[in-house]
Amino acid sequence: MLNSVLARGYVFLRAAHFGPTVIVTTTTFLLALSQYAPLNALRVTIAIFVGQVVVGWSNDLNDYPDDLKHNRTVKPLVRGEITSKQLLRAIKICAPFTLIFNLFGPLGIKGGLLYLFGVGMGVAYNFYFKSTLFSPLPYALAFAALVSSIVISTDRTPPIWLITCGALLGVAAHFANVLKDIDQDLESKIKGLPQRLGKKVSRIICASLLIGTTLILHSLVGNTPLLVIGLIAAAITSIAPNSVIFKSLIITVIIDLILLLNAVDSELGSLVI
């Protein structure tokens, strides 16, 4: 019985884009841990996680016809492991908890509303911005809102560098996420900014955004070894074959997240609530 429940839960986690959700949730916990006592940091993380799964599920629900067309069998809906009706029901169940956990948890009204704005941007991307010239905009706003919400919840103003790095990482994530499906997207007439620019230009933009983020964070917390690794991995992103590009992206993102957490600790300090 327990194994069946866990297996079912894992299916829904995969439908929520498991990899990115884990990265965002883990980063949130580490960032919140520098500002909150462990229990409150965990509560913030749960609130963020619930919002992330709603965005991920709405993405899979909206993309289902196209995923089916291109036989993307990594998606639980395409594999028949869950149905659209079940996924919609999960969204309806989790959406109220997203509001409650964020508005009435440690983030408070200000931090909670800002993060919910980011969730709204994620859903808006899924249903509208994805096929427009402004497809990077929701990513920029959502990622900036995520990191800023934790700082605002402690009654401080998020520094410009934090907002900027959040936005840059968000746009880089958008270009990186689209790269693998550009040809199929164009076939389906999905024409966001990366699809319009093409693979080569999109890779260069993604690499440039990551390099910019790395340089900004390095200027705040100098760490030459991490800087060199991050810059090399980001540069490889612009020229590497498809089999290598996502590995170099992951390395660069990990470096930037380490630098980001160090910068928050150095520039904002620890404020345990």
Banded model confidence at residue 251, pLDDT cuts 50, 70, 90: confident
175: tokens are: 């270009």
Query: Looking at 4-18, 110-124, 125-139, 256-270, which range is the least confident one?
Result: 256-270
What's the confidence (pLDDT) of residue 262?
86
| Cα-only R_g, the chain | 18
**pLDDT at 67 > cutoff 60:** yes
What's the confidence (pLDDT) of residue 243?
67
Average model confidence (pLDDT) for the chain? Answer: 90
What's the confidence (pLDDT) of residue 45?
96
Q: What is the widest separation between alpha-carbon atoms in the chain?
A: 53
Banded model confidence at residue 271, pLDDT cuts 50, 70, 90: low
Predicted structure pTM score: 0.92
Instruction: Decide: 184 and 156 in contact? Cβ < 8 Å.
Output: no
**pLDDT at 270 > cutoff 60:** no
What's the confidence (pLDDT) of residue 234?
83
* Cα-based angle 87, 72, 179 (whole degrees, multiple of 5): 110
**pLDDT at 2 > cutoff 60:** no
For 104-143, how does the pLDDT look when each residue is reduced to its tens digit (9 = 90+)? Answer: 999 999 999 999 999 999 999 999 999 999 999 999 999 9
User: Which amino acid is residue 247, in one-letter code?
Assistant: K
Q: For residues 117 and 183, give the distance between their C-alpha atoms in angstroms, rounded to a whole number.
A: 31
What's the confidence (pLDDT) of residue 174?
94
Banded model confidence at residue 1, pLDDT cuts 50, 70, 90: low
